[in-house]
Chain A
């Protein structure tokens, strides 16, 4: 119970202090809208291509939704020392880091549904396997948040964290099969795709929306789950090593 009180208040505080601030709410809507507009309209393939683009647009929205504020909530709080306040509290580091990331995960998931809502007006979505899409969105949200977390706790400055996270975010758009199938990439680049967790989430989304996927859904889910666990544990280790000197 005590742990839950701490967890929910950290989550609620971050929500109010960062995610629900008017500029961030509007960016949270404008970003996915911009992605959606850009790809849906400029693809020039007509309305019927909306569903082909949907997995990529959804993933991009999650990627940017989860990582854009995370580096702020962590690195900034560490620099103004309020993170120490959290470290001093009798909460396990696991609970603390889950609480600090839950806001980002939720923000990413909400962002994912903006392009889906738009697509609903443009295309027939009756063929989509929602029982796969929803868990995939949640897992992509978690894995990209934890990737952002890992980057944030490996950096010592806010700008460093932001540079690192862009270093990852932009190449992922091309490498993870968001818009170009991984299998159409040159053979020597493909290994890069398969060490990036987002690839597996996108694979599920493509399968669930368009019926084309590289790996079995079970394998995709298992790999995504494994990435989440490993990235979270590595982040905890880095916090202990680099932040508690």
Chain B
């Protein structure tokens, strides 16, 4: 961990309701200086609401916020010079070019002309957008839009960065580039607060993760510590021609040393503290007229922790992943 012990972000008992709808409900957490912290949760969990509250785009109902040691509870503008924000949807000007958008955003932070132009060129290069620099933002592809929005968010080299689902809904290549840039910024000492509904992305990037569900933080811990709880488990995924519950029940009575669960359609998940012996399992199934077409060892991942803690089917998050265009895969 790069964290030097002091806190870049401190949130205590933060609550925000939209009428009857809960945005976030009594959440508390801290992000250390230089830390890469993840907020992981399904759609509607309260991730964007949290970022809006921390950056001054929404007003809180209760709680306290400190950013960079500055109390922002009453005055959300107090720490805005320390903060960069990349929203989930672009907030740049469609009628300006990429270059103009960046120099304009730089001016909002009081940067001088030479500095603005130099930094804009530098960032266009970093995000491989130099060729599109003089094209209107409106004509950019989704991936390009997200990248330019990202560049605009870090134009003033903020020590604290908020990223709202930075890879959702963009092409795989852009998503990979964005993740690399996040890792680089982190290496250079930027504190990063990132939200995502890609479990894999959180696992790969974040040092510490909070699981947020329905406006509540249900678990918060270091990524290594979270993974510890599933380490040493042996998980096998069998792809079969029939995975109905009576099949798994039958297996459970014959092989009591293993745990069986229907996974996706036509998949059986076998879990055990000891390595799984496949032979007897396939023979048992074949005797019942069920073909085993694939047996795959599954390395326990954050997904298993997430399912364990939140009770939310990983499949549910997966579905969202597909809908969003698979930006979470590499």
Interface residues of chain A, those whose CB is within 8 Å of chain B, are 1-3, 5-6, 9-10, 13, 17, 80-82, 84-93, 240, 244-245
Contact = CB atoms under 8 A, between A and B. Distances in A.
B166 to A, nearest CB: 16
Nearest to A244: B59
Interface of B: 18, 55-59, 77, 80-81, 83, 85, 87, 89-96, 104-105, 107-112, 152
A244 B108 contact: no
Contacts, number: 70
Given A13-B96, A80-B94, A244-B56, A88 B111 contact: no
Contacts of B80: 88-90
Given A9-B107, A85-B105, A90 B81 contact: yes
A13 B104 CA distance: 8
Contacts of A91: 108
Given A84-B91, A88-B80, 8 more contacts: A6-B109, A13-B104, A17-B93, A81-B90, A85-B91, A89-B105, A89-B108, A245-B58
A6 B59 contact: no
B104 A5 contact: no
B87 A84 contact: yes
A5 to B, nearest CB: 5
B58 A244 contact: yes
B92 A85 contact: yes
A156 to B, nearest CB: 15
A5 B57 contact: no
25 contacts: A2-B110, A3-B110, A5-B107, A6-B108, A6-B110, A9-B108, A10-B107, A10-B108, A17-B96, A80-B91, A81-B87, A81-B90, A82-B92, A85-B91, A88-B55, A88-B80, A89-B80, A89-B105, A90-B77, A90-B80, A90-B108, A91-B108, A92-B77, A244-B56, A245-B58
B147 to A, nearest CB: 16
Given A81-B91, A85-B152, A90-B77, A6 B107 contact: yes
A5 B109 CA distance: 8
Given A81-B87, A87-B57, A88-B56, A17 B109 contact: no
B84 to A, nearest CB: 9
Nearest to A88: B85
A2 B116 CA distance: 13
A236 B115 CA distance: 32
A13 B95 CA distance: 10
Contacts of A5: 107, 110-112
Contacts of B107: 5-6, 9-10
Contacts of B110: 1-3, 5-6, 90
Q: Which of A84, A85, A91 has the most CB of B within 10 A?
A: A85
Contacts of A240: 59
A13 B112 CA distance: 16
Contacts of B152: 85
Contacts of B83: 88
Nearest to A96: B108
B87 A82 contact: no
B31 to A, nearest CB: 18
A90 B109 contact: yes
A244 B56 CA distance: 8
Nearest to A93: B77
A164 B65 CA distance: 38
A67 to B, nearest CB: 21
Nearest to A8: B107
A244 B58 CA distance: 5
B33 to A, nearest CB: 20
Pick the 3 closest A-B CB pairs, nearest first.
A2-B110, A9-B107, A89-B108
A101 B199 CA distance: 45
A85 B59 CA distance: 17
Q: Which of A80, A88, A90, A244 has the most CB of B within 10 A?
A: A88
A6 B152 CA distance: 15
A89 B106 CA distance: 10
B324 to A, nearest CB: 19
Given A2-B109, A2-B110, A81-B91, A244 B57 contact: yes
Contacts of B96: 13, 17
B203 to A, nearest CB: 29
A244 B104 CA distance: 22
B194 to A, nearest CB: 17
Contacts of B87: 81, 84
Contacts of A244: 56-59
A63 B149 CA distance: 36
Contacts of A6: 107-110
Nearest to A243: B57
A81 B92 CA distance: 8
Contacts of A87: 56-57
A240 B109 CA distance: 21
A18 B152 CA distance: 22
A10 B104 CA distance: 8
A245 B56 contact: no
A245 B104 CA distance: 26
Contacts of A86: 108
B104 A9 contact: yes
